[in-house]
Amino acid sequence: MKRSIPFAVAAASALLLTSCAVGTGTQNTDDDTEYDPSAELSGELNVMGFGAGDEIAQTRYDLAVDALGEVDVTLIEGDLDMQQFLSSVAAGDPPELLYANRDQIGSLAARGAIIPLDNCIEGEGIDTSQFVESALDQVTFDDSVYGIPEFNVVQLTMANESLLTDAGLTIEDVNGSDWDAVTAAAEALVVNDGGLSVIGVDSKLPEFFPLWAKANGVDLLSEDGRTANLNDPGAVEALEFAVGIYEAQGGFSAVKAYRDSADFFGSGNQYATNVLGSMWMEQWYLNVLNDVSPDAPMAFDTFRTPDGEPLAFASGSAWAIPAGSSNPAAGCRFARVMTEVDSWIAAAQARLDLRNEEGTAFTGVLTGNAVADDQIREMVTSGGEPWDSGVEAMYEANDNTFSLPANPADAEFKTIWQDAVNRVLNGQDDPQTALDAAQEEAQSVLDEAWASMEE
């Protein structure tokens, strides 16, 4: 009897392990659903990662729910919780629809966690030619579209006109079109008398390193998502320059601490209190500034390359259908309605009405849908200068975007280049050493991820 106990434990263990392994089996990514825009749909639609928090979301959500007829829609609100999503996939009970950042799509697609949307796009009649090209690129993996993009985030040059004028500078000196001029402006604008009291220019590292590299002619990742170019001489030069801006102002440590202490979303923000000369920032901050400090002495432009061309590093969200979704047809239609032109126009109208009631300007929305963007641009109302110039710059940036292509190791790739930039910022490495090491690590990770996917 005693001898049989270890055997029984071992047998039970093996059984449990085997049964658990079966329970987390490979998802079926074949999509044989029939997508038909006129079909009557039913069942449930659980949407993970999306919340109808404002009029832009609520208006489109109402239209999407209407289009689903009898389908019972439930929102699992809040930003996508990857742990929650993966657990649901592993348990064989994923949500029917997923709302994710576009830079998460590649990893999820490579692992079969979401299905290709080719049938969905064709069946529901989604016109992908309307989407902003860089947004569509970001959700296209292995020649299939895995996400329906929405929203586009771009960067603008945002500067304090008063500080520029006092220093004899203009927005052209700090928009990135002349790197020597940017460094000179940083030195001219910074005030550091024993302690930093005015930041001259903030190059927004590490997050905007891809923007600086692209401005210098380098894509950090090849178009097919397989080859890293982190230690390309152009990328190294870009990093040296962007880090040098901080060094000209007493080092990144001081700038970052000062930036973190700012009342970023309040009326005492860095521009309103004249403690920041210039930085590059996502376009939504223009609306924040307009709301909380309409009298701030602002000047706007796009980010510009050394050739003077506008450029923006695009990001945004996307709708994806998880593998094992119990109602992909409903998910597809929901995504289609949320991102179609009419829905965006209705949402923009709702915001315009709200702004008119408040007596404030409607500054537009970047939808990720180029056709919708063009029509909404016509609806924009004047808020006077400098805000109109800001809106103009936003649309110009939106027409000149790039993105990092989808790949099976997007989270690791991002961590690797950010860590490399961080090591330079904190003085651990020089740009060449940091990027050489990052290149080796990134290429190894990419090779392994692609090989694992293609096994």
Partner 1 sequence: MSALTLDTRPSVERPARRRARRRNVIAALLFLSPWIVGFLIFTAWPIFYSAYLSLTNYDVINSPDFVGIENYQRMIEDPKVRLALGNTLLYTLMKVPAYMLLSLALALLLDRAGRASGFFRTVFFLPKMTPPVAVGVLFLLLFNGQSGLVNSVLGWFGINGPSWTTDPAWVKPGLVLMSLWTVGASVIILLTALRDVPKDLYEAARIDGAGFWQQTKSVTLPMISPTLFFLVIVNTIGAFQTFDEAYTAFFGSGNTTYSNDAALFYVIYLFQQAFQFLHMGYASALAWLLFLIIMIITVIQVIVSRRLVHYEGGSR
Q: Return residues touching partner 1 (CB under 8 A).
A: 13, 16-17, 20-22, 24-27, 79, 82-83, 86-87, 89-90, 107, 111-113, 195-196, 205-207, 252-254, 256-258, 260-261, 323, 409, 411-412, 415, 418-419, 421-423, 425-426, 428, 452
Min dist. Cβ of residue 81 to partner 1 (A): 9
Residue closer to partner 1 by CB (options 90, 181) is 90
Residue closer to partner 1 by CB (options 143, 260) is 260
Min dist. Cβ of residue 268 to partner 1 (A): 12
3-state secondary structure of 279: strand
Phi, psi of 377 (to 5 degrees): -60, -35
Q: Which of 162, 214, 159, 164 shows the shortest CA–CA distance to 188?
A: 164
What distance in Å separates the CA atoms of residue 37 and residue 372, rounded to the nearest whole number?
20
Residue closer to partner 1 by CB (options 112, 297) is 112
Residue closer to partner 1 by CB (options 5, 22) is 22
Tokens 């007596």 belong to which residue?
359
Min dist. Cβ of residue 102 to partner 1 (A): 16
Min dist. Cβ of residue 432 to partner 1 (A): 18
What distance in Å separates the CA atoms of residue 209 and residue 416, rounded to the nearest whole number?
12
Residue closer to partner 1 by CB (options 17, 354) is 17
Q: Hey, how many other C-beta atoms are within 10 angstroms of the C-beta on 371?
A: 16
Residue closer to partner 1 by CB (options 285, 387) is 285
Residue closer to partner 1 by CB (options 47, 109) is 109
What distance in Å separates the CA atoms of residue 246 and residue 253, rounded to the nearest whole number?
9
Sign of CA dihedral 356, 358, 361, 363: negative
Q: Which of 166, 240, 251 shows the shortest CA–CA distance to 202?
A: 251
Residue closer to partner 1 by CB (options 263, 342) is 263
Min dist. Cβ of residue 24 to partner 1 (A): 6
Min dist. Cβ of residue 312 to partner 1 (A): 18
Min dist. Cβ of residue 284 to partner 1 (A): 13
The helix (H) or strand (E) run that includes residue 97 is: strand 97-101
Pairing mode, if any, of strands 144-145 and 140-141?
antiparallel
Q: Which stretches within 143-280 are classed as H helix?
A: 161-166, 179-189, 209-215, 233-247, 252-260
Pairing mode, if any, of strands 148-153 and 191-192?
unpaired
Min dist. Cβ of residue 428 to partner 1 (A): 7
Residue closer to partner 1 by CB (options 116, 310) is 116
DSSP line for 328-361: HHHHHHHHHHHHSHHHHHHHHHHHHHHHHHHT--
Residue closer to partner 1 by CB (options 232, 441) is 441
Given a contact cutoff of 8 angstroms between Cβ atoms, the answer to whether 303 and 311 are in contact is yes
3-state secondary structure of 47: strand
Residue closer to partner 1 by CB (options 214, 423) is 423
SS3 percent helix, strand, coil of the chain, rounded to 5, is: 50, 15, 35
Given a contact cutoff of 8 angstroms between Cβ atoms, the answer to whether 20 and 317 are in contact is no
DSSP line for 132-178: -HHHHHHTEETTEE--EEEEEE-EEEEEEHHHHHHTT--GGGSSSS-
Min dist. Cβ of residue 392 to partner 1 (A): 27
Min dist. Cβ of residue 434 to partner 1 (A): 11
Min dist. Cβ of residue 129 to partner 1 (A): 31
